[in-house]
Amino acid sequence: MRSIRVETSGATVLLTEAPEPKVKDRQSGEIAKDALSGETLMRLGVVYIDGGESSLLQVTVPESGVTEGLALGSPVTLIGLVARPWDTVFNGQQRHGIAFRAEAIAPAAISVGAGA
């Protein structure tokens, strides 16, 4: 399926769940790896606020893209964020959704207005 770039420059993104290894198989505990590089994939939660609306998103990031200094509740930047629609059949039921993946996550630069 096609990936769709997500424009984040006008949005506020706050970290709600610390990065942790993404589990590929819950029964075996197998950790998800990038198909091309073999690198461990990390899963994290953010709230994405734009245009007066907010959404909770789960985002996958390669382990090397997780920057030091991330704090829960703090603004972050998602570099190279893409959305990918998916669908599957699970236990005979059709399921679908949108998966989000970023190249990296870093603390957001906070701009200080004049006179502050």
48-66 pLDDT, tens digit each = 999 999 999 999 999 999 9
Q: Whole-angstrom Cα distance, residue 87 to residue 35?
A: 19
Q: Whole-angstrom Cα distance, residue 9 to residue 77?
A: 9
C-alpha closest to that of 39 among 66, 6, 5 = 66
pTM comes to 0.85
Give the dihedral sign, CA 39/83/99/78. Answer: positive
Q: Whole-angstrom Cα distance, residue 41 to residue 66?
A: 10
pLDDT at 77 over 80: yes
Strands 53-62 and 41-50: antiparallel
Query: Which pLDDT score, from 0 to 100, does residue 27 have?
Result: 86
Query: Which pLDDT score, from 0 to 100, does residue 20 have?
Result: 96
Region 93-115: mean pLDDT is 82
Query: Which pLDDT score, from 0 to 100, does residue 116 have?
Result: 44
Query: Which pLDDT score, from 0 to 100, does residue 114 have?
Result: 44
